[in-house]
Amino acid sequence: MSFMPALIVVDMQNDFCPPNGSMAIAGGRDIVALINQLVASPKFALKVATQDWHPENHVSFATNHSAPDNKPYESFVVVKNLVGHNPEETMRQRLWPVHCIQHTKGADIIEEIDQSRFDIIVKKGMDSRVEMYSAFTDSFGNLTAGSGGVNIDIDQVLKTHQITHVYVVGVAGDYCVKDTALGSARAGFVTYLIADAQRCVDPEGWPAVRAELSHGSVNVISLDSEEARQVLEI
């Protein structure tokens, strides 16, 4: 099989990183050196970053819902598949603190990440009506750029560049990283999630996340694995 790898660095944004992020993920900055090592590698044919890029009225923000069911991290809301024009299809979505509002510092990629090396930046979660963890689809699986609030159809871009393998890192491992990796695998790419280079909202749940990834044909690997060495300058 041919080997044309791409790197996707998920949501390394100010609001997701300590010490001041509105939704800071423990250890979010601890993975910067590993990510920069990957970003610097000339072995990737394409390097992609993603950004949550939400409007202020986004459905995932707890502040946009009424008490008592509006507690960040704790409350859930039932959303309809309005983007896919199938409102009878519904899903429970977790509510979050306000984060990554468009054109704010919190939405910026942290300055420690070398952005000059990215070929593409995918902005996602731009449609206020629907949650979008994955860079490939919204939570209902709506695929097309513009439907589900994404500025770039990353599936099409990867295929245009004849990418065969996708490596996924970033935050959060149990949400946007996981769903981006699963989306990549569903799109037909051999997909690796580098466990050393991710951090979770709920670290205790990582074993269950790994099982879900494995079931979804995503390979969870370590930085010292043969698969990682293929794309690193050692």
Candidates 47, 123, 124, 178; catalytic one? 124
Q: Is the pLDDT of residue 145 over 70?
A: no
Res 146: pLDDT: 62
Question: What are residue 33's phi and psi, to 5 degrees?
Answer: -60, -40
Output the CA torsion sign for 210, 74, 52, 112: negative
pTM: 0.95
Both ends of the chain: CA-CA distance in Å?
23
**Nearest to residue 132, comparing CAs of 5, 6, 10, 8?**
10
Res 85: pLDDT: 85
State mean pLDDT over 55-69: 93
State mean pLDDT over 11-18: 97
Residue 176: active-site member: yes
Superfamily of domain 5-57+99-229 in the CATH hierarchy: Isochorismatase-like (3.40.50.850)
Tell me how far apart the alpha carbons of residues 90 and 138 are, in angstroms, rounded to a whole number: 13
Tell me how far apart the alpha carbons of residues 55 and 33 are, in angstroms, rounded to a whole number: 31
Res 141: pLDDT: 87
The DSSP symbol for 12 reads: -
The DSSP symbol for 110 reads: P
**In this prediction, what percent of the chain has a pLDDT beyond 90?**
85
Res 130: pLDDT: 87
CB 163 within 8 A of CB 46: yes
Neighbour order of strands in the sheet with 218-221: 120-124, 46-52, 5-10, 165-171, 190-199, 218-221
Candidates 11, 15, 127, 155; catalytic one? 11
Tell me how far apart the alpha carbons of residues 97 and 13 are, in angstroms, rounded to a whole number: 15
Predicted confidence (pLDDT) per residue in 63-99, tens digit: 999 999 899 999 999 999 988 888 899 999 999 999 9
Predicted confidence (pLDDT) per residue in 173-225, tens digit: 999 999 999 999 999 999 999 999 999 999 999 999 999 999 999 999 999 99
Given pLDDT bands bounded at 50, 70 and 90, which one contains residue 142? confident
Sequential DSSP letters for 187-213: TT-EEEEEEEEEE-SSGGGHHHHHHHH
**In this prediction, what percent of the chain has a pLDDT beyond 70?**
97
Res 181: pLDDT: 97
Residue 11: active-site member: yes
State mean pLDDT over 107-113: 96
Instruction: Measure the CA angle with vertex 118, ends 115 and 119; round to 5°.
Output: 145
The DSSP symbol for 96 reads: B
State mean pLDDT over 3-30: 96
List the chain domain ranges: 5-57+99-229
Res 144: pLDDT: 63
Res 149: pLDDT: 86
Candidates 176, 178, 179, 200; catalytic one? 176
